């Protein structure tokens, strides 16, 4: 029986050989082909914009660049954005420090310290709940694993960059301050600015 694995370096399909032909090694034809493709997209788009703007053809629509961040495209309601902790009616966090989100997190970016809750009907409450967004991969496993629906990723906040690793760690108080996104997908709460970020450059 023949082995299913390829023994030699000779490709089974010569059209997909790893060796470059003399024409490909010159790169001139390949560069011209790339320029032709770019020019085709450019002039096609310019013609559609001309039809739409000058000749008032409503069915002709060219590509439009969104001027981010002044303009924003509508986001899907399923988009996973910055985390938030959900509060109870009395204002305390809904989290019971069961460690499910910390356990299921593949990036190990959640750190929880549990303490006793003043209410005897509630067993535990997180004394500390930190998420390191520098490690987070935004997989949403923490949201799916939580039995209390205490953590969500529906704030609509996408801009949370920082100039240091410490600025990417969000504490329990910061996560409780976030609100769910508006109907259009935009953030309802202001974008959090870490303390180490400088808005005005100091000379």
Please provide the DSSP assignment of 173-192 as one string: HHHHT-----TTS--SSPPP
Pick left, alpha or beta for residue 32 (phi over 0 → left; psi -120 to 50 → alpha; otherwise beta): alpha
Rounded Cα distance between 123 and 81, Å, is 30
What per-residue confidence (pLDDT) applies to 17?
60
Instruction: For strands 84-85 and 124-132, give the pairing.
Output: unpaired
Q: What percent of the chain has pLDDT over 70?
A: 85
Q: Which residues pair with 130 in a beta bridge?
A: 111
* 202: confidence class by pLDDT, cuts 50, 70, 90: very low
**Contact, 182 vs 155, CB < 8 A?**
no
Q: How confident is the model at residue 70 (pLDDT cuts 50, 70, 90)?
A: confident
Question: Which residues have a Cβ under 8 Å from the Cβ of 80 and sit 6 or more positions away?
Answer: 138, 139, 140, 143, 153
pLDDT digits (tens, 9 = 90+) for 175-186: 999 999 988 888
Rg of the chain in Å (alpha carbons):
27
The pLDDT-based confidence of 199 (bands split at 50, 70, 90) is: very low
The CATH number assigned to the domain with range 84-176 reads 3.30.70.3270
Residue-wise pLDDT tens digits, 4-45: 555 555 555 666 666 777 877 788 888 999 999 999 999 999
Q: Where are the chain's structural domains?
A: 22-53, 84-176
pLDDT mean over 128-142: 96
Per-residue pLDDT at 203:
38
């Amino acid at each position: 029986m023949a082995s299913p694995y390829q023994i030699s370096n000779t490709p089974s399909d010569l059209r997909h050989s790893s060796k470059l032909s003399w024409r490909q090694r010159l790169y001139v034809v390949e560069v011209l082909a790339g320029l032709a493709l770019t020019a085709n997209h450019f002039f096609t788009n310019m013609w559609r914009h001309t039809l739409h703007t000058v000749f008032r053809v409503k069915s002709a629509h060219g590509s439009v660049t969104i001027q981010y961040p002044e303009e924003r495209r509508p986001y899907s309601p399923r988009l996973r954005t910055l985390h938030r902790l959900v509060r109870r009616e009395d204002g305390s966090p809904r989290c019971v420090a069961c460690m499910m989100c910390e356990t299921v997190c593949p990036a190990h970016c959640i750190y929880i310290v549990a303490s006793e809750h003043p209410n005897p009907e509630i067993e535990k409450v997180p004394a500390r709940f930190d998420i390191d967004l520098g490690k987070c991969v935004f997989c949403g496993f923490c949201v799916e694993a939580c039995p209390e629906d205490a953590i969500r990723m529906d704030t609509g906040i996408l801009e949370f960059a920082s100039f240091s690793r410490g600025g990417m760690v969000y504490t329990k108080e910061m996560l409780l301050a976030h609100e769910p996104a508006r109907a259009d997908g935009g953030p309802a709460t202001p974008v959090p600015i870490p303390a180490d970020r400088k808005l005005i450059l100091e000379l």
